[in-house]
């Protein structure tokens, strides 16, 4: 199964045991780095396996992203289960190719083909999404500013309402737009800020970069706090289509 040299079984078994027992977060990075250094990561193979075997190969990802890609709590690691497949694929390609930054993930994905990344994306997209509890630390002012900007946008600054692209319930739109519910507030804040600062990029034209640059830091924090305060709607997978026929502004990498 392992296509690299080095001690073949040790690292995957170590990681499997750890992830079954809920690997402490602080251990995740050193353990995964150890695996990469040993050349023994179980996800480096290029052939595309069936779902059950895929789950086994993705144990290394579970160290940070939780069982089947579901993280819960206000840890920084985003859930990836149940997100639109093309969105997940675009992210994996972005981490591998440097449009998004994460050293450990970039190292893990470095040798993986587009086809294999596609299979990983399909696997996670088919898992049930996480049920993230609502964030309770937002101030009344943040909630008011966050709700106004999310729901109505700001036409004077060319900021469309977020749901025009992220779906009526903000649970995403198939196949390439992610939901904004059920994510930790810290993660949301960091992602929008990264776009504002040019550290996260999507395929051109990068509509999120444009929107993020129009928002102040305090507005980004308010939007993130409001979004994370919303309970995850029951039975709400990503929508099949956009609320309006077209995107309000163009976004690259978004398939019809």
Give residues in contact with ligand HEC (CB under 6 A): 28-29, 32, 43, 58, 60-61, 63-65, 76-78, 80, 87-88, 90-92, 100, 102, 104-105, 108, 120, 149-150, 159-160, 162, 164-166, 177-178, 180, 183, 188, 190-192, 202, 207-208, 211, 223, 247-249, 251, 253-254
Assigned token pair, 52: 């059950």
Nearer to ligand HEC, 2 or 120 (CB): 120
Q: Tell whether the torsion through CA atoms of 94, 100, 106 and 108 is positive or negative.
A: negative
Q: Find out whether 15 and 53 touch, Cβ atoms under 8 Å.
A: no
Report the candidate in 84, 248, 99 with the shortest Cα–Cα distance to residue 175. Answer: 84
Least distance to ligand HEC, CB of residue 255, Å? 10
Least distance to ligand HEC, CB of residue 242, Å? 9
Nearer to ligand HEC, 63 or 239 (CB): 63
Q: How many CA atoms lie within 13 A of 219 on its CB side?
A: 13
Least distance to ligand HEC, CB of residue 76, Å? 6
Least distance to ligand HEC, CB of residue 36, Å? 9
**Looking at beta carbons, which pairs linking 21-25 to residues 24 or more positions away fall under 8 Å?**
23/63, 25/64, 25/75, 25/77
């Amino acid at each position: 199964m392992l296509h690299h040299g080095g001690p073949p079984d040790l690292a995957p078994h170590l990681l499997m045991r750890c992830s079954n027992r809920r690997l402490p977060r602080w251990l995740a990075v050193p353990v995964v780095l150890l695996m990469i250094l040993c050349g023994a990561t179980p996800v480096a193979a290029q052939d595309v396996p069936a779902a059950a075997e895929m789950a086994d190969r993705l144990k290394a990802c579970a160290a940070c992203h939780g069982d089947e890609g579901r993280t819960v709590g206000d840890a920084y690691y985003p859930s990836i289960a149940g997100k639109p497949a093309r969105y997940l694929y675009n992210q994996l390609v972005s981490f591998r190719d440097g449009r998004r930054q994460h050293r450990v993930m970039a190292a893990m994905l470095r040798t993986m083909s587009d086809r294999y990344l596609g299979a990983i994306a399909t696997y996670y997209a088919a898992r049930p999404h996480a049920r993230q509890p609502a964030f309770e630390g937002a101030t009344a002012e943040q909630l008011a500013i966050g709700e106004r900007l999310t729901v109505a946008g700001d036409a004077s600054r060319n900021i469309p309402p977020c749901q025009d692209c992220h779906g009526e319930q903000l649970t995403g739109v198939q196949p390439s737009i992610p939901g904004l519910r059920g994510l930790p507030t810290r993660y949301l804040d960091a992602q929008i800020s990264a776009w504002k600062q040019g550290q996260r990029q999507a395929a051109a034209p990068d509509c999120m970069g444009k929107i993020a640059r129009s928002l102040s830091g305090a507005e980004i924090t308010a939007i993130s706090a409001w979004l994370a305060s919303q309970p995850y709607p029951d039975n709400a997978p990503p929508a099949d289509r956009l609320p309006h026929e077209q995107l309000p502004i163009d976004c690259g990498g978004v398939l019809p």
